[in-house]
Amino acid sequence: MDLSKIDLESIYSWFMSNAIGFLGSLLLSLITIVVGRMIIKKIIKVTKKRIDTQNFEPTKTNFILSLIKIGLNVILYIIAAGIVGISTASLVALLGAAGLAIGLALQGSLSNVAGGFLILILKPFKEGDWIEAQGISGTVYRVNILNTILKTGDNKTIYIPNSAMSNGNVINYTEEAERRLDLTFGIGYDDDIDKAKLVLNKILENDDRIIKDRPNRISVANLGDSSVDFTFRVWCKTENYWDLYFDIIEKAKKEFDLNNISIPYPQRDIHLYNK
């Protein structure tokens, strides 16, 4: 090969002109991405303010903002690829084929997205509700595209897939403004039933957190092996439920002690026979 016939200057000139053009396009593409991300952040911020004025639930707001952010970022990177010289039509076709393949591979994730939409539409719970789902109890912290985040009472963070949340049983403890508190108190068989009932009624009447115009009930519910069991059923505001729960148990013990009413422990009568 005769190297003297190769025009090195032409090659160098072609390389420099194309390299400079490519680097310029690459730089412009990077600038587009940086500026675009700033614009997207601004759009998300403005959209959030607009949604907040409509009094949307936080659960729905976060979900919508996540979808908008993902969609805008996809558009931004397609534009950036077009600036570099990549055919956007080919890129869209490639993304479509990749999306189909990924969709088949990630059917579980897609079901989680569908589950997220069902949660937003049906609204079985919202952020701040105390719920029980999939054997876990906690406060709803956030509903994302793929999962729902719960915060337990001891501050653990639990991630539950949306498909499980939308298809399984969910108990919402705080959806209603009022709840019924059910307690059981046992007294000895030798104690006065009427006296014990008066003591429990006194506790009911003296606690302002108990809603008096609701069908509250104190009654003998069971004759157990070693105790006569009273059912103590009263209504209260949902936010007062746990405070009332613990306070009533403490008050009942103190009042029973003052009135010489026993709270028996399990007992067995043993009969011995001498043959």
Map residue 98 onto helix, strand or coil: helix
Domain assignment present for residue 92? The answer is yes
Domain assignment present for residue 123? The answer is yes
Task: Provide the domain count of the chain.
Answer: 3
- pTM of the predicted model as reported, rounded to 2 decimal places: 0.59
Same domain, 26 and 93: yes
Same domain, 241 and 156: no
Residue with the larger pLDDT of the pair 62 and 96: 62
Residue range of the domain that includes 147: 115-172
Domain assignment present for residue 271? The answer is no
- CB neighbours (10 Å) of residue 80? 20
pLDDT at 268 over 60: yes
Residue with the larger pLDDT of the pair 158 and 67: 158
- At 22, the amino acid letter reads F
pLDDT in tens, 67-105: 788 778 878 777 777 777 666 666 566 666 655 555 544
CATH code of the domain in which 206 resides: 3.30.70.100
Domain assignment present for residue 266? The answer is no
pLDDT of residue 15: 58
Question: What is the rounded (10 degree) CA torsion for 167, 172, 177, 181?
Answer: 140
CATH code of the domain in which 152 resides: 2.30.30.60
Map residue 215 onto helix, strand or coil: coil
Domain assignment present for residue 65? The answer is yes
Residue with the larger pLDDT of the pair 30 and 173: 173
pLDDT of residue 46: 83
Map residue 255 onto helix, strand or coil: helix
Question: What is the rounded (10 degree) CA torsion for 236, 242, 243, 249?
Answer: 90
pLDDT in tens, 45-59: 888 877 777 766 666
pLDDT at 1 over 50: no
Question: Which residue among 79, 105, 131 closes a domain?
Answer: 105
Same domain, 126 and 66: no
**Confidence band for 143, pLDDT divided at 50, 70 and 90:** confident
pLDDT at 271 over 90: no
pLDDT of residue 248: 96
pLDDT at 267 over 70: no
Sign (positive or negative) of CA dihedral 252, 253, 254, 259: positive
| Pairing status of strand 170-172 against strand 130-133 | antiparallel
Domain assignment present for residue 1? The answer is no
Beta strands in the chain, from DSSP E residues, in sequence order = 130-133, 136-143, 147-151, 157-161, 170-172, 178-187, 217-223, 228-237
- CB neighbours (10 Å) of residue 13? 11
Sign (positive or negative) of CA dihedral 147, 150, 156, 160: negative
pLDDT in tens, 15-47: 556 666 666 677 777 888 888 888 888 888 888
pLDDT at 3 over 50: no
- CB neighbours (10 Å) of residue 76? 17
DSSP 235: E
pLDDT of residue 64: 75
* 185: nearest Cα among 260, 253, 274, 269: 253
pLDDT of residue 2: 47
Same domain, 101 and 23: yes
pLDDT of residue 56: 67
Q: Is 115 exposed, middle or buried (0-12, 13-18, 19+ CB in 10 A)?
A: buried
Same domain, 147 and 208: no
| Residues found in the chain | 275
Same domain, 165 and 182: no
Least confident of 3-12, 90-99, 169-178: 3-12
Same domain, 132 and 213: no
| Pairing status of strand 178-187 against strand 217-223 | unpaired
pLDDT in tens, 204-233: 999 999 999 999 999 999 998 889 999 999
Residue 148, beta-bridge partner list: 143, 160
| Mean pLDDT rounded to a whole number for the chain | 82
Token pair of 42 as six digits: 């601004």
Same domain, 150 and 76: no
